[in-house]
Amino acid sequence: MAERERDDHSGTETTGHEWDGIKELDTPLPRWWLWVFYGSILFAIVYWVLMPAWPGITGYTHGMLGKSDRAQVVTELKGLAAQRQAGESRLRSASLQQIEGDPELQAYAMQVGQSVFGDNCATCHGAGGAGGKGYPNLRDDVWLWGGSLDAIQHTIQVGVRSGHANARGEKVMPSFGRDQLLTEDQINDLTEYVVALSGRKANAAAVGRARQTFADQCSACHGPAGTGDVTQGIPNLTDSEWLYGSDRGSIHDQIWNGRNGVMPTWEARFSPETIKALAVYVHANAGGEAEAVAPAKAAQAPAAPAVAPAAAQPTATSTAAGGAGR
């Protein structure tokens, strides 16, 4: 057998491979690396024997230890349910007011409510409940359907235009432009009228033209003074809170298209105890409304909005995002 060539510089034998005059050295692997490699092989063999590892046609090898992550999760969930049982029992028997009056029980309800809110409500209302365009802010003191504990609980239970038999939102806003109930000029004038209702500068001539249109088409729901009705989810047009945007384009778009939001009913998905906890969480985060809000009293005659001279009246378009109202 021919003796292998040895490199003069390093003294290491070569493999016999050569590229462009460069010869490959047959350098042995470090011993520590070999021991780690062999140890990894040994560990894998032991793991295959002890733990579930090999898939089969109808199942898998369960291993000598019989360990199952799925069974462990079931056990942990049962333990968690047992821990929650006492708290849920107290929630079940207590009223919403009693829950808020008991610091310990309220703290438990807040923890449950925060978890449920993050998993189910934050997608629309935001992680902190601050909402966004088209999604109500749950952290302020403005409520479309009432901000008392009972009102919040009821809204969570039945939803808004959700298909539930008792869902809120039986009244919807018409699409005055899309369904050709009003002309483009009338909607432009109504836009200015709504802007004036909220105390901002508006075109005086347009406000005057729109006063009778508002009385005929809008006051039945929003009230002659535009203050809305919280018992029916009718937005107040005289404040500075807007669900779909307060600029003229957004208001025009809401009148034109008549957006009507939808909130799912959670009654079938959440237990009564969970709905209570969620109501307490939302109520507490918003600062809490002690009593249910009474319906706004209608004014004796249509209120004339304060009008300040406007500069150039913006052109409203039906493609702007948002709409008037909460």
Provide DSSP, 23-69.
EEE-PPPPHHHHHHHHHHHHHHHHHHHHS---B-SS-B---TT---H
Is the pLDDT score of 324 beyond 70?
A: no
Q: How many residues does the chain have?
A: 326
Of residues 44 and 291, the one with the higher pLDDT is 44
- Residue 16 phi, psi (nearest 5): 95, -5
Q: Which helix (H) or strand (E) holds 271?
A: none
Give the helix/strand (H/E) hosting 19: strand 14-19
Task: Say yes or no to pLDDT of 287 above 90.
Answer: no
Q: Is the pTM of this model over 0.75?
A: no
**Residue 20: pLDDT band by 50, 70, 90 thresholds?**
confident
Mean pLDDT value of segment 139-152:
91
What is the phi/psi pair of residue 67, to 5°? -75, 140
Cβ(253)–Cβ(117) under 8 Å? no
Q: How confident is the model at residue 1 (pLDDT cuts 50, 70, 90)?
A: low
C-alpha to C-alpha distance for 214 and 303, rounded to whole angstroms: 11
Say what the pLDDT of residue 294 is. 45
Residue 300 has pLDDT above 80, yes or no: no
- Given pLDDT bands bounded at 50, 70 and 90, which one contains residue 264? very high
**168 phi and psi angles, rounded to 5 deg:** -75, 160
Strand, helix or coil for residue 118 = helix
User: How far is the C-alpha of 177 from the C-alpha of 323, rounded, in Å?
Assistant: 13
Q: How confident is the model at residue 3 (pLDDT cuts 50, 70, 90)?
A: confident
**Residue in this structure with the two tokens 């350098």, named with its chain if needed:** 27
Question: What is the C-alpha to C-alpha distance for residues 250 and 319, in angstroms, rounded to an integer?
Answer: 9
Q: How far is CA 206 from CA 113, 192, 258, 309, in A?
A: 48, 6, 21, 11
Local confidence band at 69 (pLDDT 50, 70, 90 cut-offs): confident
Give the pLDDT confidence score for residue 257 in this predicted structure: 95
What's the mean per-residue pLDDT of the chain? 86
Architecture of domain 91-285: Orthogonal Bundle (1.10)
Query: Rounded CA gap, 309 and 251, in Å?
Result: 19
The amino acid present at 278, given as its one-letter code, is L
Residue written as token pair 């092989």: 41
- Average pLDDT score over residue span 27-55: 93
Measured distance CA(224)–CA(297) in Å, rounded:
10
Among 182, 183, 181, 208, CA closest to 196: 208
Q: Which amino acid is at 225?
A: A
